[in-house]
Amino acid sequence: MADDLTKLFAQMMEQGQKMAAAFTPAMEGIDVKGFEKLFPAMPKELLELWFGKTFNPEGLDARTRFLVTIAALTVLGPLGEPQMRVTVKNALAAGATKREIAEVIWQMSMFGGPPAMQKALEIAQAVFAETEEKAP
C-alpha cells in the first residue's frame, strides 16, 4: 500500500510540474541566480531595521515576516523562485531555522498544492546547501 501511495504521489508531482511549466512558459530558461546578485542576503541589523523595527515596532519581528513571506511565495510556485531564494537566505540570517522554513513550506501545500510545495522545498534545500558550504 505504501508503494502505491508513493507512486501515486510521484505521478501527481510530475503532472503538477508539467502543468506549472505549461502555465508559466516565461520562466523556462531564466537564470534565477541573477536576481540574487541584485539582492544578496542583508545583514541582520538591516533586516531588523527594515523588516522588524521600522514598519511596526510592536508587531512582527524580521524572522516572522520572512516566514510569512516564504508562505506566500510557496503558493506562487515557480513564479516566486528568484524571490524565494533570497527570502530563504534572509530568513536564515534573521534567525529562522531550516526546520521552521520547511514546516512553513509544507503547511502551504494545502493552498498551493504539492507541486508548489515541492518546488519551494527544492529551492530551500539548495539555499541550505549553499549556506552550509559558505559556513566557516
| Residue at 8: amino acid letter | L
Task: Identify the helix (H) or strand (E) that includes residue 116.
Answer: helix 114-134
Question: pLDDT tens, 10-28?
Answer: 666 666 666 556 555 555 5
- pLDDT-based confidence at residue 41 (cuts at 50, 70, 90): low
Q: Is residue 126 scored above 90 in pLDDT?
A: yes
Is residue 13 within 8 Å of residue 7, measured between CB atoms? no
| N-terminal to C-terminal alpha carbon distance within the chain | 45
> What DSSP assignment string belongs to 23-42?
H-GGGTT--THHHHHHSPPP
Is residue 93 within 8 Å of residue 43, measured between CB atoms? yes
Task: Please report the domains of the chain, with CATH numbers, ordered by start residue.
Answer: 32-134 (1.20.1290.10)
